[in-house]
Amino acid sequence: MRCITYNKISDISSIMVDEVHERSRSIDMMLNLIAENIDKHPGLRIIICSAMMDVNPLKRLFPNLAFVDLATLATRPRKLVVIHEEEDSAFCVFTVDDCGRNDEQGISIDEKKFHSKVAEKVLMVLRDNRTKDNILVFVPSKVFFRMGCAVLAKVVVQKNLVGVRRMLLEKIKTDGIDNFEIDLLYSGSCYSSQPQNVRRVILSTNVAESSVTLDNIGVVIDTGLVNRFCHNFNTGVDTLKPCIASVSEIEQRAGRAGREANITGFVHRMFTEATE
């Protein structure tokens, strides 16, 4: 971006932009910057890569460029079951009214109720016999990890599903539920190999949307929230606040489920379909 801005790309023949469908701020900024300066560099080639890209918006962004399809890979059919919550559901994290308040100040959530809802949803999915694959749970930030794990363990105990309290990352033995362990995934963390005969419940920030590929994910539980920097105009300070994820982020999360052959993916969205 600096090279384009300061006109220092005379030695660059091609610019490659990957994962364009993610529509992150940096990618959108890069594409717009290229579009504004492409006429100054007629010999420059732009290579755009995406697993699920709609070409039409790009053609509108670059109306004077000739598009050449370099490679199109056939993908196997994938069955994905998407389940939304009803507005009066005990698992619903936010409603249509909350979307109207999803401004630069984020939205307010009751953390205690939020963790309880996520824990109950995880246990419900663990009891679902349609899949025994790993479960990926998207939460706003790693701040939610410790309390979320603690609430999950507490709910398991309260429902007489386990006889002994265990700490984080240890297996939890339950009645009616196969052995599982809780793993945490965030930027900078190390994802270890999976023990045999142990199902994983992976609590993750949005790092698992695209930055890493996880094996054997059969279920995605999407809280629909993501942490963003919000600017307080009264104090002039930027703070991280939970906000409602964008449609592209929600779709990206859903794509984590059922990526492997012969696995039906289940996506549990903890919000109503009307909020999308």
Domain match, 22 and 55 both: yes
Cα dihedral sign, 203-205-208-209: positive
Structure tokens at 42: 């007629």
Residue 151 sits in a domain whose CATH number is 3.40.50.300
Domain count, the chain: 2
252 touches 50 (CB < 8 A): no
The verdict on residue 4 lying in a domain is no
Structure tokens at 71: 């490679």
Quick one: angle between helices 143-158 and 111-126, nearest 10? 60
pLDDT in tens, 25-55: 778 888 888 888 877 777 888 888 876 667 7
pLDDT in tens, 143-174: 777 677 767 766 655 554 443 333 333 444 44
Domain boundary among 50, 73, 96: 73
Query: Domain limits at 38?
Result: 9-73
Residue appearing with tokens 């579009």? 35
Domain match, 67 and 95 both: no
The verdict on residue 188 lying in a domain is yes
Residue 267: is its pLDDT beyond 50?
Answer: yes
Domain match, 93 and 63 both: no
Domain match, 133 and 211 both: yes
Domain boundary among 56, 73, 90: 73
- Which DSSP helix (H) or strand (E) runs through 25? helix 25-37
The verdict on residue 200 lying in a domain is yes
* Stronger pLDDT, 226 or 157, i.e. the higher one: 226
The verdict on residue 274 lying in a domain is no
| Measured torsion, CA atoms of residues 204, 206, 211, 214, in degrees rounded to the nearest 10 | 40
Domain match, 180 and 101 both: yes
Domain match, 52 and 103 both: no
Domain boundary among 73, 88, 109: 73
20 touches 207 (CB < 8 A): no
The verdict on residue 125 lying in a domain is yes
- Which DSSP helix (H) or strand (E) runs through 160? none
The verdict on residue 276 lying in a domain is no
Domain match, 113 and 197 both: yes
Residue 60: is its pLDDT beyond 60?
Answer: yes
Mean pLDDT of the chain: 75
- What radius of gyration, in Å, describes the C-alpha atoms of the chain? 22
The verdict on residue 275 lying in a domain is no
Domain match, 200 and 221 both: yes
The verdict on residue 3 lying in a domain is no
Domain match, 113 and 61 both: no
- The pLDDT of residue 82 is 95
Domain match, 96 and 194 both: yes
Domain match, 162 and 190 both: yes
pTM: 0.70
Residue 80: is its pLDDT beyond 60?
Answer: yes
Taking the C-alpha atoms of residue 96 and residue 63, their distance in angstroms, rounded to an integer, is 37
Domain match, 108 and 183 both: yes
